A and B are shown apart, each in its own frame.
Chain A
Amino acid sequence: DTGVSQNPRHKITKRGQNVTFRCDPISEHNRLYWYRQTLGQGPEFLTYFQNEAQLEKSRLLSDRFSAERPKGSFSTLEIQRTEQGDSAMYLCASSAPGDHEQYFGPGTRLTVT
């Protein structure tokens, strides 16, 4: 068990480009969460999956954002037509059935220039 992993760790992109991040949860964790953290703030919830089903989406998740979790394993978060306001740390977490503790990955830092 190597913990939650996220790739890439850093991404620099130009405004208007599309980006995709990947999260691999801890093995056998059925719930997967995405959060966004800007400088000096706590993480804010974006969305979460139970197995392959996306059960909740925050209003922060505009139409430019889409998340998937095919086959209930890894998850991807895509941002289309990036804006400078999208610059943030994107954090992924997972939790096991019956365990309410969320375990976080190292995050992907996105910089939109």
Chain B
Amino acid sequence: KQEVTQIPAALSVPEGENLVLNCSFTDSAIYNLQWFRQDPGKGLTSLLLIQSSQREQTSGRLNASLDKSSGRSTLYIAASQPGDSATYLCAVRRRGSNYKLTFGKGTLLTVNP
């Protein structure tokens, strides 16, 4: 059974700092990995999707990497801003015809002005 772990559970940083969020998964037979952002009481916004054949994806100040063999992904946020404050979730989709995503519990990020 796939298990996804996110460390740390919470992170507080001053504005402008670069930061890294970590995600690990137990079953390396994944099809892709997706990073989401969730604001309090809201739905999920997709940030980046990395296919299993890829090593990283970039969007603006965000960079996600994937090391499938070690079961790890990182989300790097450059020059953090107070508006980045949210919960960040990673989710993996298993290889095969199964389309469901297995999520971690998320990292609650607070960026202080």
A residues sitting closer than 8 Å to B (CB atoms) are 4, 6, 31, 33, 35, 40-45, 48, 56, 58, 91, 93, 95, 100-107, 109
Is B103's CB under 8 angstroms from A43's CB? yes
Is A100's CB under 8 angstroms from B100's CB? no
How many residue-residue contacts, CB under 8 A, span A and B? 59
In the complex formed, the residue of A with least CB distance to B6 is A42
8 A Cβ contacts from B51-101 to A: 51, 89, 91, 93, 98-101
Chain B interface mostly: strand
**Given the complex of chains A and B, what is the CA–CA distance between A4 and B42 in angstroms?**
13
B12 within 8 A of A: no
Is B104's CB under 8 angstroms from A102's CB? no
A41-B105, A42-B89, A42-B104 are contacts. A107–B4 as well, Cβ < 8 Å? no
Instruction: Mark each residue of chain B from 6 to 49: 1 if its CB lies under 8 Å from any CB of chain A, else 0.
Output: 00000000000000000000000001101010000111111001
**Given the complex of chains A and B, what is the CA–CA distance between A45 and B103 in angstroms?**
9
Is B101's CB under 8 angstroms from A102's CB? yes
**Given the complex of chains A and B, what is the CA–CA distance between A44 and B4 in angstroms?**
12
A40-B105, A100-B49 are contacts. A56–B100 as well, Cβ < 8 Å? yes
Residues of A within 8 A of B100 (CB): 33, 45, 48, 56, 58
Residues of A within 8 A of B102 (CB): 45
**Given the complex of chains A and B, what is the CA–CA distance between A42 and B103 in angstroms?**
5
Q: Please provide the 8 A-B residue pairs with the shortest distance between their CB atoms, ordered closest to farther.
A: A42-B103, A45-B100, A104-B44, A106-B43, A104-B43, A107-B43, A101-B49, A42-B105
Residues of A within 8 A of B45 (CB): 104
Residues of B within 8 A of A58 (CB): 100
Residues of A within 8 A of B99 (CB): 31, 33, 48, 56, 95, 100
Residues of A within 8 A of B49 (CB): 100-101
**Given the complex of chains A and B, what is the CA–CA distance between A103 and B45 in angstroms?**
7
Is B98's CB under 8 angstroms from A104's CB? no
Among B42, B91, B100, residue most surrounded by chain A Cβ atoms (within 10 Å): B100
In the complex formed, the residue of B with least CB distance to A48 is B99
CB B6 to nearest CB in A, in angstroms, measures 8
